[in-house]
Structure 1
Amino acid sequence: MAQTSVSSSLPKTCKAGVVINEGPDFKLAVEDVPVPEPGPNDVLIKLNTTGICYSDIHYMLCDLPIPPMSSFGVRSPGHEGAGIVVALGSNVTNWKIGDRAGIKPAYDACFDCELCWAGKETYCDQSPQIGLQFPGSYQQYVLSPARYTQRIPEGVDDFIAGPIMCSGSTIYCSIKESGLRPGDWAVLPGAGGGVGHMGVQLARAMGMRVVGVDGGEEKRELCMRLGCEAFVDFTEVEDVAGEVVGICDGKGAHGVFVTAMSKEAYASAPLMCRVGGKVMCIGLPPTGTAFAGADPLLFVGKNLTVMGTKVGSLLDTTKALEFAARGHMKPIYEVFPLTKMPDAVEKLRSGKVAGRLVIDFNA
């Protein structure tokens, strides 16, 4: 019988960020946890980095209409890690020790339904979430099904690859699904955030005219540096939607990509659109705090579309990584050592982040 293949001596335990007292008063602590052993069809990945995503905060706050992490026996969130394969299950033949590999939000899929066959496997009923139903990338050694582990190309380091596993893949998928074309106006509420700032770069690389919407001078500077043609500061402008429409030829945006989570961002998005415009729902507000829509007369009169998109597929993530390898997308990030992971989580929770926060497991 084939045996599990393991790189030179693996430790019995590893460091992990674990949630304590999940819910509104949660805390994150760094503790030792057992290093898992791969099953026959798994790879074991030693992560060098993980991004910190607001979805992790949602999971720890328990403010989404899904079962809590604890119901699955999971303590470590996280879903955008990058590292190397250090052990192989007995049936794994498509990976080898030392290969670079990434962890993304979807853990696996059935690959035996029309959604999987159509490249929409993240919507598959049998597509569980890592960092929710399985221990996530806040843990340095994590398991991943070999058939659904993401390969990382040369020219993309782990600090760039980690955030692309979720943020970059998510916004790539949304831009693709929107059908916007070169020369179209793309507006991004939340443009200075983890998903938004990568959307600015991707939309620009695809030939779109980009308008960022966010608050504060730090985010204005970031957005303009990354390729926004204009920036609207919601802390200074009273009629944000009107300002956006004026910038976009006085007609409005072809697509509004709502990466922000606020009630105001979702309420104003349809008002920013031109006839035939699309509102793309990406940011996840806490349950019951926001509504994606407007008076039906507006939708009828302007032929508007509202569409939601999740994180991208394996192919979407590969394409996003290719943009990064060609130099068209680079996450702007602040690095924290593993010991400061609780500080990074608190900083993101407080909304004080321009770009992305990334944990260096080796610092």
Structure 2
Amino acid sequence: MDVNTNNADSVATHDDATADYIIPKECKAGVVVNEGPGFSVRVEMVPVPEPAPDEVLIRLNVTGICFSDIHFMAGDLDLPAMSEFGVRSPGHEGAGVVVKIGANVNNWKVGQRAGLKPVWSTCGNCTLCWSGKEAHCPHSIHTGIMRAGSYQQYVVSPARYTAPIPDGVSDYLAAPIMCSASTIHRSLVEANFQPGSWVVFPGGGGGVGIQGVQVAKAFGLRPIVIDAGVEKKQLSLSCGAEAYVDFKETKDCAEEVIRITDGIGAHGVVVTAPSAYATATALVGTRIGAKIMCIGLLAPKGSVIFGCEPAKYCFQNLTISGTLVSNMMDISQSLDLARRGLLMPVYTVYGIDDLPKAVEKLRKGEVVGRAVVDFNK
């Protein structure tokens, strides 16, 4: 296992463009066992799928591990079970190379780098798809719950809806961008904060939040991280946070945030840590027009309710908005931020046989940065 925070490693380490591909009949995959609250993950050999005429077959080099995977395997969200779709491998943060194309595919070539993302496919023919909200398309198919996900090394993806990965961005960095960084990107685009705005990231020293800090900095915003510990403080400040509030050492975090933000309060709060919902509205203080952006999923349903007196929303013109996942443009623009060196890689690397261990560590909150699994280790 390696922890990487070095931009010098942000080039692809797998020379796929010139490789000859021998496609096996089976591949390694992390599969869920005993789906539900007591689930576990084990590595098995599974059949390699055959791409349909309009699909590409991707050999993944890396998969990220997202806490949404935990929710899907535990079945603690108000969603159908993976097993209802015949899916055993979760995951929606994949980076690899196209090794085979379907008979009708003319926009991809074997050897091109490609990513597997949360939304596997959409109809492409509704107002939601046309307006950048394709994650909410009523005909959308979601990866890792409705289709085999990135815990499986060989996966198929619709050619028209597969994300290209540019040179200069490692698979280790590209995989998490498929979900976490690009979802933060979508949230900040929708929030439309003005440059110079103070934006708070509760839990910003974690795997999702730390990418949000970097994206916010690239947008010209002023990130504040609320988290605990010297290690997360150093990481947050090195990634662009202007201030760090240690909730274990600070009596009143909201009061400290208000002090930092000119005695008024933050222009926005991006909630990636569900535990922060209960106190999110306090962080905006008396700021007029502040926005609270909701990203972190929590379970069980109804376990946390957040808000304040309705009069506060009216008098301060507050907005609360949710972001599910990114669209194709967000992924492309987030990958470009990484290519330009504006997204620093912060990840812990595991080999494929240690995927069950990585899932358990994430489940217990013991992962530094993002957890990524290398299928070639």
Tell me the TM-score normalised to structure 1 length: 0.96
Q: Secondary structure at the match of 1:79?
A: coil
Alignment partner, residue 364 of structure 2: 350
CA positional deviation for 1:139: 0.3
- Amino acid corresponding to residue 167 of structure 1 in structure 2: S
Match status 1:337 vs 2:348: no
Contact 1:41–1:89 (Cα < 8 Å) also in 2: yes
Alignment partner, residue 40 of structure 1: 53
- CA offset digits 1:70-112 (Å, max 9, x no partner): 1111110000000000111111111011010000100011011
C-alpha RMSD of matched pairs (Å)? 1.1
Alignment partner, residue 10 of structure 2: none
Contact 1:281–1:292 (Cα < 8 Å) also in 2: no
Of 268, 274, 278, the residue aligned with 2:291 is 278
Alignment partner, residue 98 of structure 2: 85
- Amino acid corresponding to residue 202 of structure 2 in structure 1: P
Q: How does 1:48-197 map to 2 (within 5 A)?
A: 48-197=61-210
Gaps of 5+ in 1: 1-6
Contact 2:338–2:344 (Cα < 8 Å) also in 1: yes
1: distance between equivalents of 2:108 and 2:193? 37
Of 22, 25, 28, the residue aligned with 1:12 is 25
Of 188, 211, 233, the residue aligned with 2:246 is 233
Q: Secondary structure at the match of 2:337?
A: helix
Alignment partner, residue 17 of structure 2: none
- Amino acid corresponding to residue 330 of structure 2 in structure 1: D
Q: Secondary structure at the match of 2:293?
A: strand
Match status 1:295 vs 2:309: yes
- Amino acid corresponding to residue 375 of structure 2 in structure 1: F
Alignment partner, residue 341 of structure 2: 327
Alignment partner, residue 5 of structure 2: none
- CA offset digits 1:310-337 (Å, max 9, x no partner): 2111011100101010000123001000
CA positional deviation for 1:353: 2.1
- Amino acid corresponding to residue 120 of structure 1 in structure 2: K
Tell me the TM-score normalised to structure 2 length: 0.92
Q: Secondary structure at the match of 2:297?
A: coil
CA positional deviation for 1:202: 1.1
Alignment partner, residue 12 of structure 2: none
Alignment partner, residue 16 of structure 2: none
- Amino acid corresponding to residue 177 of structure 1 in structure 2: E
1: distance between equivalents of 2:206 and 2:364? 13
CA positional deviation for 1:8: 4.2
Gaps of 5+ in 2: 1-19
2: distance between equivalents of 1:314 and 1:165? 9
- Amino acid corresponding to residue 161 of structure 1 in structure 2: A
- Amino acid corresponding to residue 370 of structure 2 in structure 1: R
- Amino acid corresponding to residue 46 of structure 1 in structure 2: R
Q: How does 1:235-254 map to 2 (within 5 A)?
A: 235-254=248-267
1: distance between equivalents of 2:214 and 2:178? 16
Structure 1's consecutive aligned runs of 4 or more residues displaced over 3 angstroms after TM superposition are: none
- Amino acid corresponding to residue 362 of structure 1 in structure 2: N
1: distance between equivalents of 2:21 and 2:218? 42
Q: Secondary structure at the match of 2:119?
A: coil
- Amino acid corresponding to residue 325 of structure 2 in structure 1: V
Q: Secondary structure at the match of 1:172?
A: helix
